[in-house]
Amino acid sequence: MRHLRQLAAAAAAVCLALPAWAAELVMVEQAGCEWCARWDEEIAPVYPKTAEGKFAPLRRVDLRALPEDLQVARRVMFTPTFLIVEDGEEQARLEGYPGEDFFWPLLADLLTAHTGFVEDTHTQGGS
């Protein structure tokens, strides 16, 4: 019995040490979307290395097969659509890909306005 309590305490300590991902960036995409491909080329390689990417890890979903655990505020019509999601619920969205120069400030503004993200202007967008 003592070993079970020690094991439970160790498991709890490990869980508490892991970061809690309160937010995620959900990219709704579909096959053949040229703007999705452009985002993949311009943003995807650096996204996980940025403050935005670390705060809101990327999750990709298909437009025609939205997962049941994702609650959207309204139907997604365009790809790409980027959803700021917390606890499975949409908080904000960016419809379309406006290009690299506009994507980063728009994303930072949405994250700041709808989550606990604090923008670091020195590292925005992987700079």
Instruction: State residue 119's pLDDT score.
Output: 83
Instruction: State residue 22's pLDDT score.
Output: 80
Instruction: State residue 121's pLDDT score.
Output: 65
Residues shown for the chain: 127
Number of domains observed in the structure of the chain: 1
CATH number at residue 85: 3.40.30.10
Give the residue numbers spanning the domain of 64: 21-126
User: Does 118 map to a domain?
Assistant: yes
Question: Cα–chain-centroid distance for residue 54?
Answer: 9
User: Does 65 map to a domain?
Assistant: yes
pLDDT by 10-residue block (mean), the chain, 127 residues: 52 44 91 98 98 97 96 96 96 97 97 92 56
Question: Cα–chain-centroid distance for residue 73?
Answer: 16
User: Does 109 map to a domain?
Assistant: yes
User: Does 91 map to a domain?
Assistant: yes
Q: Are 23 and 86 in contact (CB under 8 A)?
A: yes
DSSP state of 62: E
Instruction: State residue 2's pLDDT score.
Output: 59
Query: Which is nearest to 45 in space by CA: 26, 61, 29, 58?
Result: 58
Instruction: State residue 81's pLDDT score.
Output: 98
User: Does 60 map to a domain?
Assistant: yes
Instruction: State residue 12's pLDDT score.
Output: 46
User: Does 41 map to a domain?
Assistant: yes
Tally of CB atoms within 10 A around 111: 22
**89-95 and 81-86: which strand pairing?**
antiparallel
> Helix, strand, coil: what percent of the chain each, to 5?
40, 20, 40
Q: Are 79 and 30 in contact (CB under 8 A)?
A: yes
Tally of CB atoms within 10 A around 117: 20
User: Does 12 map to a domain?
Assistant: no
User: Does 52 map to a domain?
Assistant: yes
